[in-house]
Structure 1
Amino acid sequence: MHEPKRSREPDAPRAPCSRRPSVDLTGRVLGGRYELLRRLGHGGSGATIYEAEHVELRRRVAVKVLDPGLSDADTVARFTHEAHAAAALRSEHIIDIIELAHDDSELVFMVMECLEGEDLAVTLAQDGPLDWRRVLSIGTQVCEALVTAHARGVVHCDIKPGNCFRITHGGTADFIKVLDFGVSSFGGRVAVTRGSDGRRTSGPVIGTPGYMPQEQLRGGPYDHRVDIFALGVLMFRLLTDKMPYSGGSLFVPRRPTSGPIALRRAAPAVEIPDAFEAVILKSVASDPAERYPSAAEMLAALRAVADTPWAPRLARDPLAWGERSSAA
C-alpha cells in the first residue's frame, strides 16, 4: 500500500474526521511481532497506517494504529468495530483483517493484508474519466463486496473512490479491494442518545458528503440502500468526473423529488450503453424505494450489461441534421 492522495470535496469525510498523529511510530515493534517500517497514510478514526513486517515470519503486512492521543473510549470502540465488521466478511474484494491487538504501551492496532496499488481517487485524478468498460468491471466488483457485507448485516456507509483500492491480481490491473469499515453499521442502525432535555436524538452523521443519500445525511434511519446509492455515485463520477446531483458536493437537492442529472448531460461525449446508464441512475434515485432493493439485484443488473453485446452509437450525419458538411 502507498500513501493515498486525498482530494478535495466531495471525497473528504464528514465525520469522524481524520487527524494527523501526534507521533511517528516508524521503527517500533508492536506486540513484539510487527515492526513498523514506514508510514503509508492516515485512515479514519484518528489512525495511521504503516507498512510493517512480522519479525519472525518476515511477512509484509499493513498495520493501522490508533493514535495514542485519540484513544478515548468512543474512538477505541469505533476502531474495534471496524476490525470486527471487516473480519466477519469473507470476500476476495474486501480487505483481509488478520488481527486486532493491544500493545504493552496501550496502543491499539489492527493488522491487515498489505496491498500494492492505489485507491480509485488517485486513479480518477490520473486517468479519469474512465472508459465505461473499466467502470462496469470496477462497479461489479464493489457490488460483489456489498452483497457479502449486506448478507452479514453490515452496511459500509462510506463507499467512495478513496475506500476502493485497485491492485493487480488475477490477470487484471483493476482488481478492487473495499477498505475502511470504520463508519459501517450493522443493519443500518443509527445510534440514539438523549439530550439534556431528555429527548431522543440521532447519532452523528457519518460518511462522505456527495456519496450519502438524503436519509443518511439527515441522520435518520437508513438501510443497506445507502451503499447502493454510494456505488451509483461512484460509477457516475468515474465515468464523468462529476457528481449526479447539482448544488455543490453535498447531496442536498432543492426539491426532495428532484432527480439526478442525466449522465449524458453531465458528460455528452461519454460512450456508455443505455442499459448501464439506467443501472446507475436507478441506484442514485433520491427515494430509496426507487433504488435497487438489494445489492444482489444490482449485481445481476450489472452482469446483464456485461453480457449484452453493445455497439457504439453512430456519429451524427451533418446532412441529416441540415448542417453544412466541411466539404461544402
Structure 2
Amino acid sequence: MCSRRPSADLTGRVLGGRYKLLRRLGHGGSGATIYEAEHVELRWRVAVKVLDPGLSDADTVARFTHEARAAAALNSEHIIDIIELVRDDSELVYMVMECLDGEDLAATLAHDGPLDWRRVLSIGTQVCEALVAAHARGVVHCDIKPGNCFRITRGGTADFIKVLDFGVSSFGGRAAAARDSDGRPRSGPVIGTPGYMPQEQLRGGPYDHRVDIFALGVLMFRLLTDKMPYSGGSLFVPRRPASGPIALRRAAPAVEIPDAFEAVILKSVASDPAERYQSATELLAALLAVAAVSPAPRLARDPIAWGEQPSAA
C-alpha cells in the first residue's frame, strides 16, 4: 500500500457521469486512491482507483495505464477484473474494477494467524494459478505479498483468493522477462516489498518470473508461521544468505506442516533462482501433488540434531 495521502477526497463526486464515489477504501501502490463506487444508472457496485491529480505526470500515467492493461490482459478467476480505464474531461485518470467484499491476507494473518497448513495450501495454490496465467502472458507481478492477495467468499469457500495491484508489475520489458539483443536478462529498478523480494530483485536485476515464485514461497511461509524465512527478519533479505532459509519446523516447531509441503516452500524461497521452481506451472504441480496425498504425521525432531540434550528416560 502507498502511504502518500491523496491531494483531495473525491467522495461524492460522479466520474464520467457514471460512477459515484461512495467512500474511500484505501491507497494503491501507484499513488492512487481506491473508492467504493456505484454506477448511477445500473446501480451495481464497483471499485474505482483514481490517480492522484498531483501525480499525473506522463511517467506516472504511463505506469497507471500499464497496471490496468497488465491486469486486464489476464484471464484468471484469481486475478481482479478490470472493467475499464478512463481519462475524463477534467484530466482525472482512473480505472474501474470489480468490487470485492472481504479482506486481504495481511488482515487474515493478523486476526487468524498462523493459519492451518490446509488453508495455506489452498491459498498458495490459488495464487499460483494466478501466476501461471500472468507468466503465460509475459506479466511478472513483482509484489506478491499478503496485502495484495484478497480473500472473498465464493464457490462455497471463504478463502477464495483474488490477486490485486499490478502497479509495479513487469509487462513487456521492465524486468528480466525482457532480454537484451545478446539474450541476457535486462536489469530493472528495485521495485517490490522488502522481505518478499529475493536478492536479485533487491539488487535491481537482472530478474525474471522466478521473483514471483520466491514471493509466493515467502507468503506461504509467513501464513504458516507468522515469521519470515530469512534471518534478516521482516524488512529485508540478506544479499548473500549463506545458510539458506530457516526450516519451517525451526520457525514453528509446534505447528503441523507436512514434510512434503515444507519441502515445496523451502525450494520456492531458495536464494539462488536456479534452485527454485523454474516456472509457476512447475510450482503448481508440486502444490497439487501435496494436496493429492494424505500426509503422514511429521516425525518427532531429533534433539541432538537441534543441539539439545535428550531428556533422560
> Does the pair score TM above 0.5?
yes
Counterpart of 1:127?
112
Structure number with the bigger relative contact order (C-alpha 8 A, sep ≥ 6) is 1
Q: Choose 288-297 or 197-206, whichever is displaced more.
A: 197-206
Retained in 2: the 8 A contact 1:54–1:60?
yes
Q: Is contact 1:276–1:302 with CA below 8 Å preserved after alignment?
A: yes
Query: Quick one: which of 67, 90, 93 aligns to 1:108?
Result: 93
* CA displacement 1:134-169 (0-9 Å, x = unmatched): 000000000000000000000000000000000000
TM-score, structure 1 as length reference: 0.86
**How many matched pairs?**
312
1:322–1:95 distance in 2 versus 1, CA, 3 Å: closer
Cα distance in 1 for partners of 2:310, 2:298 equals 20
Rounded to whole Å, the distance in 1 between the matches of 2:210 and 2:18 is 40
Gaps of 5+ in 1: 1-16
CA deviation after TM superposition for structure 1 residue 115, in Å: 0.2
Give the superposition deviation at 1:270. 1.2
Change (3 A) 1:28 1:184: same
Q: Distance in 2 between matches of 1:318 and 1:192?
A: 45
Q: 1:186: Cα distance to partner?
A: 2.3
TM-superposed CA distance for 1:251, in Å, is 3.7
Give the Cα–Cα distance (whole angstroms) in 2 for the partners of residues 152 and 197 of structure 1.
22
Equivalence map 1:188-199=2 (5 Å): 189-190=174-175
Give a deviation string over 1:31-56, Cα, whole Å, max 9, x none.
Answer: 11100011111111110000001111
Task: Give me the TM-score of the superposition, normalised by structure 2.
Answer: 0.90
The whole-number CA distance in structure 2 between the counterparts of 1:317 and 1:40 is 49
* 1:198–1:317 distance in 2 versus 1, CA, 3 Å: closer
Alpha-carbon distance change, 165 to 195 in structure 1, aligned in 2, over 3 angstroms: closer
Q: Is the CA contact 2:176–2:205 (under 8 Å) kept in the aligned structure 1?
A: no
Deviates more, 1:305-314 or 1:115-124: 305-314
Q: Specify whether residues 288 and 322 from structure 1 end up closer, same or farther in structure 2 by C-alpha distance, changes over 3 A only.
A: closer
The Cα of 1:248 is off from its aligned counterpart by 2.9
| Partner SS for 2:186 | strand
Residues 199, 70 of structure 1: CA spacing in aligned structure 2 closer, same or farther, 3 A cutoff? farther
Distance 1:190 1:322 in 2: 43
Would you say the 8 A contact 1:235–1:280 is kept in 2? yes
Give, in angstroms, the shift of residue 256 of structure 1: 4.7
Are the aligned partners of 2:144 and 2:216 in contact in 1 as well (CA < 8 Å)? yes
Distance 1:58 1:266, change over 3 A: same
Deviations 1:185-244 (A, max 9, x none): 026634999999999995431100000001111001111000000000000000000000
The structure 1 segments of at least 4 consecutive aligned residues displaced by more than 4 Å after TM superposition are 191-203, 314-328
Specify the SS of the correspondent of 1:279. helix
Structure 1 residues 65, 236: closer, same or farther in 2, change over 3 A? same
CA contact (8 A) 2:103 2:151 kept: yes
1:166·1:175 contact (CA, 8 Å) conserved in 2? yes
Alpha carbon RMSD of aligned pairs, Å?
4.3
Q: Compute the displacement of 1:104 (Å).
A: 1.6
Runs of 5+ in structure 2 lacking a partner? Answer: none
Distance 1:259 1:55, change over 3 A: same
